[in-house]
Each structure stands twice: as structure tokens, then as C-alpha cells.
Amino acid sequence: MTATARTPAAAGTPVPRPPRAQGRGAPGPWRSRLYRWDVRYTPYAFVAPFFLFFGAFGLFPLIYTGWASLHRVELASPDHMEWVGLHNYVRLLDDAFFWNALRNTLTIGVLSTVPQLLMALWLAHLLHYRLRAATFWRVALLTPYATSVAAATLVFVLLYGRDYGMVNWALGSLGISPVDWQNGTWSSQIAVSSIVIWRWTGYNALIYLAAMQAVPDELYESAALDGASRRQQFRYVTVPALRPTILFTVVVSTIGATQLFGEPLLFGGAGGQKGGASHQFQTLGLYLYEQGWFNFHLGRASAVAWTMFLILLLIAAANMLIARRLRKSH
Amino acid sequence: MTLTTTGRPKREGPGPRRRPRTRTAALRRLRRLRRRLRSRRRPGRQAPTPATARTRAGRQLHGGPLTYAVLAVFTAGSLFPLVWTAVTASRDNMRLAKTPPPFWFGTRLAENTATAWTEANMGLALLNTLLVAGTVALGTVLFCTVAGFAFAKLKFRFSGALLLLTIGTMMVPPQLSVVPLFMVVAELKWTDQLQSVVLPTLVSAFGVFFMRQYLLEALPGELVEAARVDGASSLRIIWHVVFPVARPAMAVLAMLSFVQAWNDFFWPIIALTQENPTVQVALTGLGRGYVPDQAVIMAGALLGTLPLLLAFTLFGKQIVGGIMRGAVKG
């Protein structure tokens, strides 16, 4: 905090009262020097607080995590580090639970992202019509976004209860036998995904809506003149125009899915870090948490974190390739 | 967006009139420039409106009954879990262990809320979260506006590289920093102290980018230059030119970062314990069997969500607008 308090002050010092003796306007030499200093260096002062915090809480930890991942570090004595080289990574690749977590992260990611974005696209299409109470629909669809992971998951745990949950009751009244949402592999993953879908569909719908509103009207007009139906207009005008936005949301949702943590943790109840009795919905985030704070291996947790980072970099690279392809094809 | 004139009211006193101080002269000139800019922009902005309105009427069809029906279903889906939180929070634990599940409110809301307030530490948690989210929102807005202004309108070396670095950090997941941050917090004996959750989230790369994009368009470069020519220091420019112009975007960023800080999950559950929790930490404690009573758990979830829901009903329109504006530019 001290540094940030200092920077505006430093920027503030060169606010000189116009020296009375000099008369109006004509700046003295020291004043113009101060002024030049101000112009040249205050931009750095303006970005300094951000980069100070970013360096301390973003960049340094990122690098230090990589350093810690090459050491044996125990939770009880985090300042005692013993060099082990790549041992943590080797252990990771040997651990069946790591691969299980990676697989779960992938399947839950697909199960949550694909329906979520498709529904969001549909909702945005509907919201794009002229509607009565347009603001109400938008705000109402965004409310899940205001609900925290914890609160949302607690409700869904109750809704998905095996014996008395509302979902199974509804299924039962349709004549379908109850599903064990906690212990089945697919059922639990679908349940966890549904929490993600519930929280983020409205948000993504609004982002698509904003992009739709930016599509120039002339495109629709000429499409209509060419005799395109509304469905064809959606398919051949709206979707191509939205392509960058769709790519953007895919990337953001994928990043979110890679980090999935709170939903499976709380969905698992008391032993949540395991992600279910047989680790059936343990994600990489949970696996990291379990390694570090339940098995007390901070070094191995760091290795998991860096592996996640590498996966994200891969996703980013793939994204850039796809984006370049798209740009070329246009 | 309106450009507010922040200059002082004209003074009629004889003193300042005879000797025009450069500061007031600068402000007057600024005001004149602003007025000119405003009058220049007004007609330009309004001229195309009738045209677009006409074409919109052709394309933007009114939603049919089916549109409303689908939207109603999705809205019900979005709101139902929240309503049901309240329903279950007003029942007792015995009732929740019966089929069919309850559909209407019971009478025990006050009782359950009181139990959650004391046993799950929700009172302290709410206070803590208010403090944390408030500080984070304030810090984010302040630092990000200033940095965003520097990136948007000031020339300095490495600005391009620094901006790229900022955008790159938006992708770094929080998992990557928890191990070192935890080690630092343990070293400083900051466990259970609020600054350990505030400091790492006090700035946001998204915020810098968001403010930059906004100011790039909303703040005319002439305005800054005119103030410069008149000898205004950078700090004065920030206060009298940038802040008034950026106010709408600052409000949006404040709301978004408040929501985000309120719902922040991963780091707080590592840095804090049930002794001094934020809302999310307290809810996690509830979900992991800290209190076995389901109705009390739901009362806690309700307490933890209610403040944000309240804010959403009040500022929903602005939050929706902010997300959509951020989407087009991001």
C-alpha cells in the first residue's frame, strides 16, 4: 500500500502554483522542467500500482510455483524446500488419480460448455427480438451469475438428493426410477455440469446478444432481399458475424472449465476434495487441493498447477491457430 | 455518457477577475472545448437514429408467443433454485427428508436464519465479505482507471509490451498462485486475516483492459491535450478530465468487481478458516457438514446470496449494460 500511496503524491508534486513574480503564463525554467518530467514519467506512475500488485500477486507466484514444483515442500513447514528435480512431475504421471482428474475435467468441461453455449446462443437470438419488458428478461436470466458457487451448489445438492431430492421426485412422477446423482460417474458429472450451466448460460447469452446488436442491419436487409428466411438469416448472417464472439466465449468457458473447483468440492459434501467416493467427479482443481492441503505435498500441488498452466497454454495456442484459419478463410 | 463540466462557478469578485490565474483560465478553456465537442457530437449521433430505427423496425421483429414461452421457461429455471432456497430455508430439517419435497414457504425462516447467523458465523462472514468486496471494488476501480487512462491516451515507452502483458495475465488461473501465496501468508502469519484475501485481488487485468477500451473512445484526445497546453498536471487531468468522463464505466467496473470479490472462492477457502470467514468460506463450512441441519444450511445460503440479489434488483439494468458493453469491446 505504501508504494501506491506514494505514486500519486509523486505525480502531484509537480503541480506548481504559477510563480507570481514571473507573471502570467510564461513558465520559469524549473517549472517547465517539472512539467516535462510530469509528462514523461507520470504514465509510469499511473500503471505502476497495477504492475506492482500484478508482480507481487500474479507474476512472482506464477514463477515461484514452477520453482516449488521442483522441490519437496511439506504443508507443515513451507519454508523448508528440498530439491527433487522433476520427481513431482514423474509421480504425477504415474498417479492414476491424476489421469482420472484430467479425464473428468475434460468430460465435465464438454458436458458443461457445449449445452451452455448452444442454449446461450438460442436465448440471445430470442432476446434480440423486440420484447416487452426486455430489461426484465435480461436481468432475470443473469441472476444466477449473482449467485455464488457455494450457494448455488448447496441448493443443487439438495435438488439432486438421492432419496428426497426434487429431481428424483420429478423423475419418479414421470415413471422413471430414481438416479443416484452422487455416486454414479455420468450422473454425478452431469449434475456438476448442470450447476455450471445454470450459473453461466445467462451471462453468455448477454455477450452473444451484444454481438448480435453490433451486426450491421444492411446484412439482414440484403439477405432478406435475396429471399433468405429468418432461419437462413440466422444461419448465414448471424452465426458467421458472431464467430469471433463465439470463439471468445469458447475460450473463456474452456479456461473456466479447466479450473473447475467449487462446484465439485461442495457437491461432494464432507469429503469433497476427493470428488466423490470413487473420485468420479474429481477435477484437476480438486486434485491440486487434495495433494496440497490434505496430503500435505505443496511441491506436488505446484506440479499440478504448472501442468494446468501448460494445458491452458495449449488451449490458447490452438485458439490462435483456429482464429488465424478463420481470418484467412474470410 | 455525458461530459460533465467540473469547472468552478464564475467568480464575480474583483480580485480574481483582474488577475486571471492560469488555472481558472485553463478550466474555462476546457469547458469551452468540451461544449464544442459536445455540440459537434450531438448532431452526428442523432442523425442516423431515424434511419436505423426504420430499418430496425423492418428487421427486429416482435417476439411471438413462442418466444415469450421459451423465455419464461428459462427465466423460471434461472429463478427457481433461488426461490427454492428460500422455501427450504423456511422449513425444518424433518420436512426436507420427506417426499414430495415442499413447494411453499414454511414458518421457520427467522429461526433458521438466526441459527445460521450464530452457528455458522454468517454475521461475521457478511461483515467480512462486505469489507473485502468493498475494498477490492474501490481499489480495482481506482488503479484500473488510472492505468487504463495511461494505456489509452498517454505515450510512453514499452506501453505496447506492457499492455500485451496485461492482457496475457487475464489467462493465468488462480490455481497457479495459491501455493506461493499460501507460503507467504503462513510466513507473515496472515492466516485468517482479511488482507490476505484483499491484496491479491486488488487489481485486475480485465479492469485495466476494460477501462482502456472505454476511455479510448469516450475521452477525446483534444481534451487531454488542451488541459496539457494549459499546464494542468497529470494528476489534475486525472481528477478533472478523466474521472468525470470515465464515471459510467467506473460504476460498472465497481459493480462487476464487487460481485466477483463477493463470490471469490478458491483462494479464500485456503487463506481463511471458519474462525474469521468470508461468506463463501462459511457456506463451504456449512456444506461440508459443519452444521448438519439442511434447513439451516439453506438459510445460510440465502443470507449469503441476498445482498447481491438485492443489488441486482436495484442495479440489474446497469450490470447487464456493463457486461454487454464489455463484451463488444473485449
CATH code for position A318 = 1.10.3720.10
| For range B20-26, the mean pLDDT | 52
The answer to whether residue B6 is domain-embedded is no
Nearest chain A alpha carbon to B56: A217
Give CA–CA dist B325/B167, Å, rounded. 18
Q: Tell me whether residue A84 is in a domain.
A: no
| pLDDT band, very low/low/confident/very high, at B131 (cuts 50, 70, 90) | very high
Task: State the Cα–Cα distance between residues B162 and A74, nearest whole angstrom.
Answer: 36
* Per-residue cell: A330: 474470410
| Alpha-carbon span B113 to B105, nearest angstrom | 14
Looking at residue B7, what is its pLDDT?
Answer: 37
Q: Does residue A210 form part of some domain? A: yes
Residue numbers of B between 57 and 116 with CB closer than 8 Å to A: 58-63, 67-68, 70-71, 74-75, 77-79, 81-82, 84-85, 88, 96-101
Among the listed residues B254, B268, B265, the one whose alpha carbon sits nearest the alpha carbon of residue B311: B254
Range of the domain at B155: 65-329
Contact A273, A294 (CB under 8 A): yes
What pLDDT is recorded for position A42?
Answer: 82
CB contact under 8 A, B304 and A130: no
Kindly indicate the confidence band of residue B22, based on its pLDDT and cuts at 50, 70 and 90: low
DSSP state letter for A237 = I
Whether residues A128 and A190 share a domain: the answer is yes
B158 band by pLDDT with thresholds 50, 70 and 90? confident
- Across the A:B interface, residue pairs with CB atoms under 8 Å apart total 334
**Chain A CB contacts of B325 below 8 Å:** 210
- CB < 8 Å to A81, chain B: none
Measured between CA atoms, the residue of chain A closest to residue B196 is: A57
Torsion sign over Cα B280, B283, B288, B290? positive
Q: Do residues A137 and A237 share a domain?
A: yes
3-state DSSP assignment of residue B277: coil
pLDDT of A17:
47
User: Which residues of chain B make contact with A59, given a CB cutoff of 8 A?
Assistant: 169
User: Domain count of chain B?
Assistant: 1
Closest partner CB to A269 (pick from B67, B235, B288) = B288
Q: Which three cell numbers stand for residue B268?
A: 479464500
pLDDT of residue B75: 93
Q: Rounded to 5 degrees, what are φ and ψ at B93?
A: -60, -35
For residues B49-70, average pLDDT: 61
Task: Give pLDDT < 50 ranges for chain A.
Answer: 1-24
- At residue B38, the pLDDT reads 55
Residue B324 sits at the chain A interface (C-beta within 8 Å): yes
**B320/A138 touch (CB, cutoff 8 Å), yes or no:** yes
Q: Does A256 fall in a domain?
A: yes
Question: Are the CB atoms for A139 and A209 separated by under 8 Å?
Answer: no
A209 and A133 housed in the same domain: yes
Last residue of a domain, one of A68, A86, A112: A68
Q: pLDDT: is B107 or A152 the higher one?
A: A152
- Please judge whether A47 and B301 are an interchain contact, meaning their C-beta atoms are less than 8 angstroms apart: no
| Residues A64 and A108 occupy one common structural domain | no
B2 pLDDT higher than 80: no
- Residue A273 in any domain: the answer is yes
| Of residues A122, A142, A155, nearest to B85 (C-beta) | A155
Helix axes A185-213, A134-146, angle to 10 degrees: 140
Residue A42 lies in a domain: yes
Q: What are phi and psi of A37, to 5 degrees?
A: -55, -45
Same structural domain for residues A33 and A101? no
Chain A residues 244-303 within an 8 A CB cutoff of chain B: 245, 248, 255, 258-259, 261-262, 265-266, 269-270, 272, 285, 288-289, 292-293, 298, 301-302
Contact A151 B259 (CB under 8 A): no
Chain mean pLDDT for chain B: 77
A307 and A315 in contact (C-beta within 8 Å)? Answer: no
- B208-238 pLDDT tens trace: 888 888 888 888 888 888 888 887 788 888 8
CB contact (8 A) between residue A15 and residue B78: no
The answer to whether residue A317 neighbours chain B at the CB level (below 8 Å) is: no
Confidence grade of residue B28 (pLDDT, cut at 50, 70, 90): low
pLDDT at res. B245: 87
Residue A91 lies in a domain: no
What CATH code is carried by the domain that includes residue B122? 1.10.3720.10
**Does residue B191 lie in a domain region?**
yes
CB A48 within 8 A of CB A5: no
For residues A89 and A174, the answer to whether their CB atoms sit within 8 Å is no
* A contact test, residue of B241, B280, B320 with most A CBs within 10 A: B320
**B287 to A266: CB separation less than 8 angstroms, yes or no:** yes
Long-range contact set of residues B235-244: C-beta below 8 Å, sequence gap at least 24: B235/A8, B235/A11, B235/A12, B235/A15, B235/A42, B236/A15, B238/A46, B238/B146, B238/B149, B240/B6, B240/B27, B240/B30, B241/B30, B242/B145, B242/B146, B242/B149, B242/B215, B243/B145, B244/B3, B244/B4, B244/B6
Residue ranges of the alpha helices (H) in B170-204?
175-188, 195-198
Q: Given CA atoms B246, B249, B251, B255 in this order, what sign does their dihedral have?
A: negative
Strand, helix or coil at B62? strand
Domain end marker among A53, A68, A83: A68
Range of the domain at A28: 2-68
The answer to whether position B110 is within a domain reads yes
- List the 163-182 stretch of B: residues with Cβ below 8 A of A: 166, 169, 171-182
**Residues A146 and A191 placed together within one structural domain of the fold:** yes
CB B177 to CB A65 under 8 A?
yes
List residues bridging with B62 in a β-sheet. Answer: A130
> Are residues A229 and A279 both part of a single domain?
yes
Q: How far apart are CA A213 and CA A241, in angstroms?
A: 11
Of B100, B175, B304, the CB nearest to A305: B175
| Residues B252-301 pLDDT 10s | 889 888 988 988 888 898 888 888 888 888 888 887 776 677 888 888 88
The verdict on A47 and A171 lying in the same domain is no
The structural domain count of chain A equals 2
Chain A CB within 8 Å of residue B155 CB: yes
pLDDT of B120 strictly over 80: no
Q: Are residues A107 and A53 in the same domain?
A: no
Give this prediction's pTM.
0.79
Give the three-class secondary structure for A83. Answer: strand
Give domain status of residue B44, yes or no. no
Distance CA B150, CA A42 (A): 9
Does residue A87 form part of some domain?
no
Helix axes B65-89, A185-213, angle to 10 degrees: 130
Considering chain B, what percentage of its residues have pLDDT values greater than 70? Answer: 78
Query: H or E stretch including A261?
Result: none
* Chain B residues in contact with A245 (beta carbon < 8 A): 327
